[in-house]
Amino acid sequence: MGYLRDENNMAIYNRNEIFSVKSSFSDVLKTAYCHSRRIHVLKIFLPLVAFIIALVFCWFTFFSVSTSFETVILNNEEDGITTLTMVDPRLEGYTSSNQPYWLKAEKAFQDHVRFGVVELENITAEVPASKQVSVFLRAQRGIYDNSSTHLQLNKPFTIETKDGLVAQFMTADINLSEGQLKTDQRVDIYNADFSLTASRLRVCEKGRVMHFQGGVHLLIN
């Protein structure tokens, strides 16, 4: 029993568990249903990546929400550059369905010349995806450019749900207006039922199309 690889070098572990000729017809249907459900969960989860990050950064971009934080002005005498620094910025509120969410970072930086560019450090957030599921975001660093609606996460970040679904990224470039996400570094997505790894990922059309590329491995438990 081992790996089955297709022409795209995609590996599926233990294929015989799904299509074993020794299984009864009901067992095959049950296993196929479970397999379909796992893939469905995966397809729902990935679009949440762009959704959560967009929600985090839209607040910091405009600096227009009344929150509790300390503001520090930093001056670089050599370059004559003034930077606005927000210490421990936070946002808490409720969605339209009356579910709580919160967003925070250790620091947020904004150049007074390039007002639309915001850099954040150590970002965390919790956002409800549905009445039953909340999604958590943890990112080391991010840069958002309001003029191009482009978000760059150039440090590792993790997105996970309360029911155990986890996605780990090394970096990602996100075009919020187009609903596109791309990364050329390893992606790991897993829960108790499956794990998926790939060297590259492209998410297009606001999550409706996903391309996993380069050494793709799908293991179903």
Nearest to 103 by CA among 115, 116, 86, 117: 86
Domains and CATH numbers, the chain: 25-176 (2.60.450)
Cβ–Cβ under 8 Å, residues 101 and 95: yes
**DSSP string for residues in 33-77:** HHHHHHHHHHHHHHHHHHHHHHHHHHHHHHT-S----EEEEEEET
Q: What is the pLDDT along the chain (221 residues), one digit of tens a residue?
A: 334 344 444 444 443 343 334 444 455 445 544 555 555 555 555 555 545 544 544 444 433 343 444 444 444 444 555 677 888 888 777 777 787 878 788 988 887 777 778 888 998 888 776 677 778 889 999 887 877 878 888 899 998 887 788 889 999 888 877 778 889 999 998 888 888 899 998 887 766 677 888 988 888 77
What is the C-alpha separation between 11 and 145, in angstroms, rounded? 38
